Chain A
Amino acid sequence: MTATTWEDAPAVTTRRHRAPLARLLSSELRWIFRRPRTLVVLALLAIFPVIIGISVQLGTDGQPETSGDAPLFVSAITNALALPLGSLMMLLGLFLPLAVAMAGADAIAGEQSVGALRGWLLAPVVRGRLLGVKVFGVAVVAVVSAGLVALTGLVTGLIINGTDGLFTLSGTELSLVDALGRIGLAVAWVALQLLAVGAVALAISTTTEHPMLVVAMVLGGLIVSQVLGLFDALSWLHPFLLPDPWVSALPDLLRDPIAYDTLGEGALRAVSYLVIALSLAYARIVTRDG
């Protein structure tokens, strides 16, 4: 970056006018969704539930498997509700965080490394607003990727089994509307978790010019957290780890009535991470030279 900073820019232009927010947001989305890597990751995310659905259907010949390691998928073969939720649960381990970590890495570190952030000089934008637009972009990626997985999972489940057998782990039958509501809740919850991951990625992103470093640090941190979560001796630490409820919370949406405890705790934890990461990112971005 040159000595001309974003902060100086408004003073240079003769007539100070702010770039319209809608235009900023839409151009941010164009940036994100035109990147081939974003599209490739989204496509892979979309295919995954289809692969699970077909392979479970073929592998079990439509008969319930009685001695599987994944009881959630035992009912998946007859259940268009379990397939989207199960896919979200499996992908939340690594692949979904990868998608948002990439978006967060590209948003600031990536654009800076290719000099694209200089474009913001032409449309004068204060730094807080810049961060706001970037958070919006990451949030959209989080919602789209979680929604895409749920959508293809739902469609696959409906194609294989129709609306029959939408029942919960408690053995109660659900109407399609009720099932859709639960899937929507799952998407919202997963998107919130992903947004927390994305916020951490943004915070790291403000400190470096190397997007690869951001992705590596975020995924490395996730893997370390998940490994730490395996040790009972560290149980005092577990409530502070973001991925702690990721495996256990989503099946709760398959119970009747829904058990909100783990989901609520997970949401509160994600919001805490979000607040910490965004405030650090803001602090870094307003004090950064150039």
Chain B
Amino acid sequence: MQPRTKGLVAAVTGAALGVTGLALVAMPAGADDAPNLPEISAQELVSSTLQADPPAFAGSVAVHNDLGLPSGVPGMDFADFDSARVFHDGDDGFRVSVQDGNAEYTLVANGDEAWAYNSSDNTATRFAAPDGDKTREQERAKGHHKGQRPEEMADPATAAQEIVQRLSETSTITVDGTARVADRAAYELVLTPKPSERTVLREVKVAIDSQTRLPLRLEVMANGTPEPIFSLGFDEFSVGEQPERLFDFTPPKGVKIEDATDKARERAEQAPAQGEKDAAERFGESLQVVGEGWDTVVTGAAGEELLSARPQMQDGERGMSERDKQSAKDLLERYGKRVSGEFGSGYVITTKAGSGLITDDGRFAVGAVPVQVLEQALTK
């Protein structure tokens, strides 16, 4: 072969191979067509899900949230982890590792005890299951299987009927086709609000695995966006025996060990200041649920002083950022919209998943509903 042809052949084949490899990496997995599954009614699907006994499996879970929450507000990053891995031994043991950047939060449970380990502060927390053995023995004596609670849950068919009935007062429940989640065939159970419901949500979809009948994915859709505003689901899922050692935890040397029950006791002993107690009581008592179904609104009174309170600097805590020093009112002014009406006046924050309203005198209302519904709830 001439050097020129040889070179050309090498360049073209090599480049083609390499680009194919890169494309393989870039391609999103599991973008297959919806699988063909036998027809099933919503009630049957719910009933078989309730009956399902989770097998031993390993999987990884991803969260996507596009709720449209104002960014930069403290405390809003709760669902903001990279991914999590889940292992289940088909019995009492499970292990969840939540990955957050270079840190990891691990939860290990095996029937007798549970441990949580946080790598960012190198602390292991022990949760003792005080009567774990006893209750399990009792359950066994009664002949209950796992996944079934006594009384009304004893018969999954009845329970499913009840659940479906209760939900269908406010929503339409359908099995809307199939989907492929984590490369597994799944049914899509869809909850759609009845037209009379005043909500900003369009539907809630739960993908249920056709074989194990485990829920594999939860998606919340809102009006006006084709993509789910929130989705939590497996992106990898495989059924199979898991190594025993995954469900045991022995804190290594050099790790701070805390006991959850001790900690709770300590907290109880440190009686809160009288003022705090009052505020907490008032807050708890004032919570009210207005409406039902999809347009449920939670209202309450937080007290006027909470709005203007600024976070106090702790001793020895240096360099609080400007953001932390802002009072709740400053934040509301920045992210909220000023509204007024029969209920008084205040600020409203709207997200894709709902809205919240807080009045100047400290009353508030939150729900997955348009603002008008919140205003009505506060007027009542």
Residues on A facing B (Cβ under 8 Å): 7, 64, 66, 70-72, 74-75, 78, 164-165, 167, 169-173, 236, 239-240, 251, 255, 257, 259, 261, 265, 268-269, 271-280, 282-284, 286-287
Contacts and interface: CB of A to CB of B under 8 A. Distances in A.
Contact of B120 (A71, A165, A240, A275): A71
A272 B16 CA distance: 10
B154 interface: no
B26 interface: yes
Contacts of B249: 171-172
B17 A275 contact: yes
A70 B102 contact: yes
Nearest to B118: A171
Contacts of A280: 11, 14-15
Contacts of B18: 272-277, 279
B10 A282 contact: yes
B104 interface: yes
Nearest to B104: A169
A240 B101 CA distance: 21
A240 B119 contact: no
A206 to B, nearest CB: 11
A41 to B, nearest CB: 27
Interface of B: 3-4, 6-8, 10-11, 13-15, 17-22, 24-26, 60, 85, 97, 99, 101-104, 106, 115, 117, 119-122, 124, 236, 243, 245-246, 249-256
Contacts of A279: 10-11, 13-15, 17-18
B88 to A, nearest CB: 14
A75 B119 contact: yes
Given A239-B22, A239-B26, A287-B4, 9 more contacts: A74-B121, A173-B252, A268-B25, A272-B17, A274-B18, A275-B18, A278-B14, A283-B8, A283-B14
A170 B119 contact: yes
Contacts of A274: 18
Contact of A283 (B11, B121, B122): B11
B254 A165 contact: yes
User: From DSSP, what is the main secondary structure of chain B's interface residues?
Assistant: mixed
A78 B254 contact: yes
User: From DSSP, what is the main secondary structure of chain A's interface residues?
Assistant: helix
A171 B252 contact: yes
A171 B95 CA distance: 12
Given A70-B102, A170-B117, A171-B117, A268 B21 contact: yes
B89 to A, nearest CB: 14
Given A171-B252, A280-B11, A272 B22 contact: yes
Contacts of A261: 60, 236
A286 B25 CA distance: 31
Nearest 8 Cβ contacts at the A-B interface = A279-B14, A272-B21, A171-B117, A276-B18, A239-B26, A283-B11, A283-B7, A167-B252
A241 to B, nearest CB: 10
A251 B7 CA distance: 40
B132 to A, nearest CB: 21
B104 A255 contact: yes
A174 B85 CA distance: 20
Nearest to B243: A257
A282 B102 contact: no
B119 A7 contact: no
Contacts of B243: 257
